[in-house]
């Protein structure tokens, strides 16, 4: 048995995994990898068409057909429905991956309260609420939670104030909740990503950056050039690289780890430009 085969056998096979933001980017890439690893998938996303495309790609990998629960997680009824349908279909929940999120540009002088509320509601409040509803089921399975954050949570950047604040909030939320649930053997992880591209995945980027980093645009090439300076490894990350880290943290291979902050950012978090 190869190392890869051993990891597949011991990691996520058969584990019921709820992944949010699954219609694009990191959430979609994580869904595909979990499918290859034999996980039972519940996928949430706001883009129904893309969510169906991701589900089709998952089944083409040999996975069982995912349960799709599309909708906006800022709606409390959508959160409750998502968990209720998961338990009704599968009877359990083993893994929660909170990947849904938005980025909005603006600083203290030009960010209105409507934008601030939107960012905080999607990036923080919905994560808090969904986790809260999932916890009783995760306690039963001694499950795991992976919260996808950003280098913006621990490093300061002008022009994306509300987004940076939201990611800092998720960082603290993860650490506090990890300590609260440790005695019940529920493990929590914070995965901090940086700039990611995903050409193989739906032929587009994570849809988080503004403007869209399409491979045919001049801005895209400017972005790649800048990554040589902002990332120690000299390039943006691939979605698959982030997904592999999420799979490791969610799996039994990380059974003695909790509350950890794992940057998957090509060394960007450690850099201090001079």
Q: How would you list the strands of the sheet with 67-68, edge to edge? A: 67-68, 40-43, 16-19, 95-98, 144-150, 187-193, 260-264
Query: What are the residues whose beta carbons fall under 8 Å from the beta carbon of 117, sequence distance 6 or more?
Result: none
Nearest to 206 by CA among 37, 47, 40: 47
Angle made by CA atoms 252, 254, 260, in degrees to the nearest 5 = 145
The answer to whether the beta carbons of residues 192 and 237 sit under 8 Å apart is: no
Helix axes 239-250, 25-36, angle to 10 degrees: 60
Q: How far apart are CA 144 and CA 190, in angstroms?
A: 11
Active-site positions?
163
Structural element, H or E, at residue 264: strand 260-264
Tokens describing residue 212: 């869209």
């Amino acid at each position: 048995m190869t190392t890869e085969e051993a990891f597949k056998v011991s990691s996520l096979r058969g584990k019921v995994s709820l992944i949010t933001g699954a219609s694009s980017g990191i959430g979609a890439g994580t869904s595909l990898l979990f499918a290859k690893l034999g996980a039972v998938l519940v996928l949430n996303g706001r883009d129904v068409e893309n969510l169906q495309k991701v589900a089709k790609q998952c089944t083409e990998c040999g996975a069982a057909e995912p349960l799709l629960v599309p909708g906006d997680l800022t709606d409390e009824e959508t959160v409750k429905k998502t968990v209720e349908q998961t338990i009704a279909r599968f009877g359990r929940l083993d893994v929660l991956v909170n990947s849904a999120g938005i980025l909005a540009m603006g600083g203290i002088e030009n960010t209105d309260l409507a934008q601030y509320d939107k960012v905080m509601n999607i990036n923080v409040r919905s994560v808090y609420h969904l986790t809260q509803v999932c916890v009783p089921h995760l306690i039963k399975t001694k499950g795991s939670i992976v919260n996808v954050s950003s280098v913006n949570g621990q490093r300061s950047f002008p022009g994306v104030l509300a987004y940076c604040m939201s990611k800092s909030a998720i960082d603290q939320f993860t650490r506090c909740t990890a300590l609260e649930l440790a005695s019940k053997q529920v493990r929590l992880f914070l995965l901090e990503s940086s700039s990611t591209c995903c050409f193989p995945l739906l032929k587009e980027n994570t849809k988080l950056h503004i403007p869209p980093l399409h491979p045919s645009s001049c801005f895209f090439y400017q972005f790649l050039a800048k990554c040589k300076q902002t990332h120690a490894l000299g390039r943006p990350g691939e979605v698959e690289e982030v997904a592999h880290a999420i799979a490791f943290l969610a799996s039994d291979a990380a059974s003695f780890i909790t509350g950890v902050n794992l940057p998957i950012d090509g060394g960007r978090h450690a850099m201090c430009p001079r």
